[in-house]
Amino acid sequence: MRLCEGRVAIVTGAGRGVGRAHAMMLAAHGARVIVNDLGATLQGDGNDPTPAAAVVDLIRKNGGDAVANGDDVSNWEGARRLVAHAVDTYGGLDVLVNNAGILRDRFLTNMTEDEWDAVVKVHLKGTFAPMRHAIDHWRARHKLTGEPVNARIINTTSISGLFGNPSQANYGAAKAGVAALTIIAARELGRLGVTCNAISPFAMTRMTEGLGQITPEQRRLGDPANNSPVVAWLASTDSQDITGRIFRIGSGFVSVMEGWENGPRFDPIDDAAALGAVIRTHIAKARKNTGPKGTPLD
């Protein structure tokens, strides 16, 4: 069963890794895919049209329909051109998968302003900008027909943003922002018939290749394509009632993440000197923050 027959999908950062797998699977399910990739290095430098072109060639060899796009999604005009490319080529847009990203890991004591700005720009602005231009297209469609547009936004967050990871303050903060942006967009866009969800993928890609020795089993579980079935289903018309959710895709499991909840509470106290004992009492009652394995952090 082809879930996305005839739908038009943009996948950013689709030249390699997880994005490439998304593009391939969406095409296999009948979507017409705009394969966006600037072709930059892992640190975000330079550009190369080869990766995106290679994915397009493979999709076409497999009988699918795709075009390459090399716009920078973290640039406002680049994001606008990307959405216009989809509309001009295929007559519309139904699915936006925001996946593009870079890494510049460093502990806070050594992180530079440029390292912070570059990562936040690609991950957070590079998610917002395509969303904003896609929303313009969907609002116009909705205004023209008066009908829900049945469109999809699928963002990419990370366990670094959901749980925190030392040496990734820039990346984790951006990915936490993506998770919040996803929930807010879901609440705002439902009236148009647009859903917004996110995945936190697990994969062995060039972003994780420095983790050390990888066993064959870890490599199997870390195949980027393991993340794409969730994306293909969320991109389909079947998922119209699912929005504002974060899906963590781990090493052999998928989890529907649950957001922040109120913990132990107390009445306000005006006396700051007396407040410490009360706060300590309630912190002792609260569940500890957990790490990505679900175990409490020290």
Q: Give the CA count within 13 Å in the CB-facing half-sphere of 93.
A: 28
Q: 281 and 188, same structural domain?
A: no
3-state SS, residue 59: helix
182: which 2 tokens?
């996803």
Percent of the chain with pLDDT over 70: 94
- Please check whether residue 217 lies inside any domain of the structure: yes
- Please check whether residue 3 lies inside any domain of the structure: no
Q: 160 and 132, same structural domain?
A: yes
Q: Residues 244-286: pLDDT tens digits?
A: 999 999 888 999 999 898 999 999 999 999 999 999 999 999 9
Q: 267 and 128, same structural domain?
A: no
- The label of the residue with tokens 């007559």 reads 91
Q: 282 and 181, same structural domain?
A: no
Domain encompassing residue 292: 263-298
- Please check whether residue 240 lies inside any domain of the structure: yes
Q: 270 and 182, same structural domain?
A: no
| Cα dihedral across residues 241, 245, 250, 255: positive or negative | negative
39: which 2 tokens?
């072709």
Q: 285 and 223, same structural domain?
A: no
- Please check whether residue 97 lies inside any domain of the structure: yes
Q: 295 and 153, same structural domain?
A: no
Continuous segment of H or E residues that includes residue 218:
helix 216-221
265: which 2 tokens?
């509470």
Q: Which one-letter amino acid corresponds to residue 47?
A: N
Q: Which one-letter amino acid corresponds to residue 159?
A: I
Q: 181 and 107, same structural domain?
A: yes
Per the prediction, the chain carries an average pLDDT of 92
Model-level pTM? 0.92
Q: What mean pLDDT comes out for the span 137-146? A: 96
DSSP 186-198: HHHHGGGTEEEEE
Write the CB contacts of 245 (distance below 8 Å, at least 6 apart in sequence).
186, 197, 198, 256, 257
146: which 2 tokens?
């008066």
Q: Residues 49-82: pLDDT tens digits?
A: 899 999 999 999 999 999 999 999 999 999 999 9
- Among the listed residues 262, 261, 248, the one whose alpha carbon sits nearest the alpha carbon of residue 291: 248
Q: 282 and 231, same structural domain?
A: no
Q: 276 and 145, same structural domain?
A: no
CATH number at residue 120: 3.40.50.720
207: pLDDT confidence band, cut at 50, 70 and 90? low
Q: 298 and 243, same structural domain?
A: no
- Give me the active site residues, please: 158, 171, 175
Q: 277 and 227, same structural domain?
A: no
How many separate domains does the chain show? Answer: 2
